[in-house]
Structures are given as C-alpha cells and as structure tokens.
C-alpha cells in the first residue's frame, strides 16, 4: 500500500520533470506527504452512488482490483528466503492473481449503469482476453528453460545468465502486455478520458475511487516484480559470481527501473486507436509469443 501511494508521487514528479514543471513539492519535504494529503482529501469527500448501480458489484469492484496484487505478492521472491510462499505452481498463481484484477475493472464498468462505464467495461473485457493470451505464452518461456513453475527455481536458473538474453522476444512481449493488463498508456482504452469521461470508474467517488487508483499502481508494482523475476534474474546481478549489493537490493533496483519505465512510456507514447489495440495483440504479439515458445523449447533441448 505504501508503494502504491508513493508511486502516485513518483509519477507526478517524473511527469513534471519530463514536462519542465516542478510538480508536488509543498506538502512535506520534497512533497513526500502529498499522497497522505490526497488520501485525506478523498476520504472526506462525499460519496455519490447513482440510483442505477448494482450496489453489491459496485461495492466489490474496487476491492477486487486492489486485492489481486496483494494475493500475487504472496509468491514473489525478493531475495533468498525473502518470500511469503514458494509453491511448485508459483507462476500459475502469479498469472491467475493478476488476471483477477481485470474483473474489478469489468465489474466496475458493468455495475455502474452508465453508458460511459459500460463501454469502459466492455473495452476492458476484450483487451484482457486479447493480451492475457500472449502474456501467458511468453511467461511459459522462462518456465520451460528453468524446468519448473516455481518462481524461486526460475530465479535460481538465471544465476549465470538472465533469461532476457536468450528470451528477448518473450521479454518484450511480456513487458508490453503488462502495460495492457494494468490499463496504462498507450493501452488505457477502458478509461480513455477524451472519449469515456473516466471509463469504468466514472461513477465512483471518495474512497472507492481511491481504491481503483491505488489498485492500478499496486498492479504496476506486481507487474514490475514479475518482469524482474521471470526475465531479469530476480535478486542476481548482471555479472555472474559478482554481487556488489545484497540480492534484495538488485531486485528492488530492477522493480524501480520498470516502474520508472511505466511512467516514461505514459508521457512518451500516444493512446492507440481501439482497432489498433486488438490488431497489435492478435497479429503481432501472439505470433511473436508462439515464436518465443519455440525458441525456448529449442534452447532447453540444446542446453
């Protein structure tokens, strides 16, 4: 929750830096208390719930979106022994938990009774279906090369070489699909402000809107952790046998880099048109993910 809150501060500061502005710097030293001020402001705002909403789903949707990354966190190893659980099916758990977050977006849109929100929910449905398939196929590459679905085993298999090198195509496919799964630019069609007001969260206010907001940033943290574990060697440094820092520091540095990349991409690339979004998944990413699966299998057999 702390990481999700302070990613809001990081995004605003990096955005200001890229646009030659100052950004939040008044509340607390360097503006570090700005997330606290934002949460207090949202907590004291009046919550407006339209009459047309499905109240049960409207209540559950923000919680589902935020609960998913917390569930996924259980299997992510940040260092040797620094994980909550290491099941044999850790990769499946991670992919399943991140998929659940999409249901929060879909239910938030479809339960609101607003045309803007319904369109955002429908967009999210097709986007999640389209991008989860190449994501999961790309994630199979590291599992095949490590010979295990355990995330700890996958990291240990990268002791001598990060999988991003032999699995570069899979690394790119997985990284791109994480942007679509977290609804970040250039794939933020479910909440496109210029077309759908706020998309799936148009009818949410006060703390329920804050849960959606925090859930998006929490999912970014999990996505960055997943890329670091599957393709970037987890807690291992780039040079085998030479560790300048303890393993957990390498892992946190990689997660921080990919979180910065999320912000960088947002302020660099324009939003895709919706037909381009779907064509890019089915006609580009899916064939590349299948090609990467073939390469991983061949590499494993030869290795």
pTM (predicted TM-score): 0.90
Tokens of 127: 């986007």
Q: How far apart are CA 237 and CA 247, in angstroms?
A: 8
DSSP classification of residue 23? -
pLDDT (tens, 9 = 90+) of the chain, 303 residues, equals 788 888 888 988 998 988 889 888 888 888 888 888 888 888 888 888 888 888 888 888 888 888 888 899 999 999 888 889 899 999 999 999 988 888 888 888 888 888 888 888 888 888 888 999 999 999 999 999 998 999 999 999 988 888 999 899 999 999 999 998 888 888 888 777 777 777 787 888 888 888 888 888 899 999 999 999 999 988 888 876 666 777 788 899 999 999 999 999 988 888 888 889 899 999 999 999 999 999 889 888 887
Q: At a CB cut-off of 8 Å and minimum separation 6, what does 130 contact?
A: 180, 277, 278, 281, 282
CB distance 217 to 255 below 8 Å? no
| DSSP states along 203-269 | T--HHHHHHHHHHHHHHHHHHHHHHHHHHS-TT--SSTT--SS-HHHHHHHHHHHHHHHHHHHHTTS
CB distance 77 to 229 below 8 Å? yes
């Amino acid at each position: 929750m702390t990481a999700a809150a302070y990613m809001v501060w990081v995004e605003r500061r990096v955005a200001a830096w890229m646009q030659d502005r100052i950004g939040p710097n008044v509340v607390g030293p360097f503006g570090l208390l700005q997330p606290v001020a934002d949460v207090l402001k949202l907590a004291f705002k009046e919550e407006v719930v339209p009459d047309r909403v499905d109240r049960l789903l409207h209540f559950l949707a923000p919680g589902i979106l935020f609960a998913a990354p917390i569930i996924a966190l259980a299997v992510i190893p940040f260092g040797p022994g620094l994980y909550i659980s290491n099941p044999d099916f850790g990769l499946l758990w991670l992919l399943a938990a991140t998929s659940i977050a999409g249901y929060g977006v879909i239910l938030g849109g479809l339960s609101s009774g607003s045309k803007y929100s319904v369109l955002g929910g429908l967009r999210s449905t097709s986007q999640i279906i389209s991008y989860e398939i190449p994501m999961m196929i790309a994630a199979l590459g590291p599992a095949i090369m490590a010979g295990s679905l355990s995330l700890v085993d996958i990291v240990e298999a990268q002791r001598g070489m990060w999988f991003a090198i032999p699995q570069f195509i899979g690394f790119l496919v997985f990284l791109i699909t994480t942007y679509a799964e977290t609804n970040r630019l250039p794939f933020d069609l479910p909440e496109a402000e210029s077309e759908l007001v706020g998309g799936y969260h148009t009818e949410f206010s006060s703390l329920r809107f804050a849960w959606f907001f925090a859930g998006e940033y929490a999912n970014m943290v999990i996505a960055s952790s997943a890329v670091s574990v599957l393709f970037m060697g987890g807690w291992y440094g780039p040079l085998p046998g030479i560790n300048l820092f303890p393993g957990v520091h390498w892992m946190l540095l990689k997660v921080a880099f990919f979180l910065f990349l999320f912000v960088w991409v947002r302020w660099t690339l324009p939003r895709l048109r919706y037909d381009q979004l779907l064509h890019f998944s089915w006609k580009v990413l899916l064939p590349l993910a299948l090609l990467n699966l073939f390469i991983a299998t061949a590499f494993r057999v030869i290795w």
